[in-house]
Amino acid sequence: MNYRRLGKTGLKVSEFSYGSWVTFSFQFGVDTAIELMKFAYDHGVNFFDNAEAYAGGDAEIIMGKAIKKLGWNRDTFIISSKVFWGGEKPTQRGLNHKHIIDCCNTALKRMQVDYLDLYFCHRPDPETPIEETVRAMHTLIMQGKICYWGTSEWSATDIKQAYKVSRELGLTPPSMEQPEYNMFNRDKVEDEYLNLFDNEKLGTTIWSPLASGLLTGKYIDGMPEVGRTTLENYKFIKDMFESDEYIERHEKVKKLFQLGIDLNIPLVNIALCWCLKNKNVSTVILGASKLDQLKQNLNSVDYMKDVDDAVMHQVESILMNKPK
């Protein structure tokens, strides 16, 4: 496993990390979480991603129990949470000072840790001034409850405003953003954020590198009977895959899958290496629900040299969607 700095911080994150969205609680419980997290950790993964919204908080509880059972030293791993969707009441949502503090304290209890390494604003909140959000995050850093704070799916404009407010008021600026990034979702990372990468050295912890499984090739022949597309809470993924918009994507996946066969490199590994080829990606969050999937995902480190410039060119000739 190789490690990259998280933006301009001194924190080194593993190139591949492991997340709990969709899988924890909805697809498995503590025992499987222990199995998968242990395998990831033993193979160099040091960052484990979570959020208050994942399974209504159950994902944090499961991860906390797994970490306690595994008995890892706290200084050997990085753990995160995100704040925005905590409940139905007005005080349980958004990025106001109160909810940011409450969410952090709840995450610490659920995951049975004294502090969070990374704490993300899960989405922008148009009803809360950015200054209020920045102050709350700075407060938590000063209290030692979080080490770094960042954003997720924020616009470049809002992130720049957070930096501006931080400088004007002498507060801690964001260190990272968590955007969706894969072969079919490229605009933010490859275009919109470029100025932030150049001027602020913003770190990224990218999610959905396999486009919710589309880039594994397992949907080429239709929807499987078991998987995340069959989960009631994630029916939107199935609807998305079956939409007219995705017809072109399915055709491209077929060509990419054949390219993998020709190169003797599985499509899943090409797709993950493709993400890491971008120097502005700090870490790629994996969401495997089975051990064999996680093993194959992590095997991507062995294919990085094989996915060279020539292969990247072949991929681009199929995708034809590079931001201008």
Confidence band, pLDDT 50/70/90 cuts, at residue 239: confident
How many CB atoms neighbour CB 8 within 10 A?
Answer: 11
115 catalytic residue (yes or no) = no
pLDDT for 233 equals 65
Q: Alpha-carbon distance 179 to 186, whole Å?
A: 10
**DSSP per position, 123-176:** S--TTS-HHHHHHHHHHHHHTTSEEEEEESS--HHHHHHHHHHHHHHT-PPP-E
CA dihedral 292, 16, 81, 236 (to 10 degrees): -60
259-311 pLDDT per residue, tens:
999 999 999 999 999 999 999 999 999 999 999 999 999 999 999 999 999 99
pLDDT over threshold 70, residue 118: yes
pLDDT for 324 equals 84
Confidence band, pLDDT 50/70/90 cuts, at residue 172: very high
Confidence band, pLDDT 50/70/90 cuts, at residue 226: low
Domains of the chain, each with CATH number or no CATH? 3-215+277-307 (3.20.20.100)
Confidence band, pLDDT 50/70/90 cuts, at residue 240: confident
Compute the mean pLDDT over every residue in the chain, rounded to the nearest whole number: 95
pLDDT over threshold 80, residue 242: no
pLDDT for 236 equals 66
Confidence band, pLDDT 50/70/90 cuts, at residue 227: low
Is the pTM higher than 0.85? The answer reads yes
How many whole angstroms from its chain centre is CA 246?
22
pLDDT over threshold 70, residue 230: no
pLDDT over threshold 90, residue 225: no
21-72 pLDDT per residue, tens:
999 988 999 999 999 999 999 999 999 999 999 999 999 999 999 999 999 9
Helix H or strand E encompassing 204: strand 203-206
Burial class (CB in 10 A: 0-12, 13-18, 19+), 251: exposed
What is the identity of the amino acid at 36?
L
Confidence band, pLDDT 50/70/90 cuts, at residue 89: very high
Give me the catalytic one of 54, 119, 148, 219.
54
Share of the chain above pLDDT 70, in %: 95
pLDDT over threshold 80, residue 182: yes
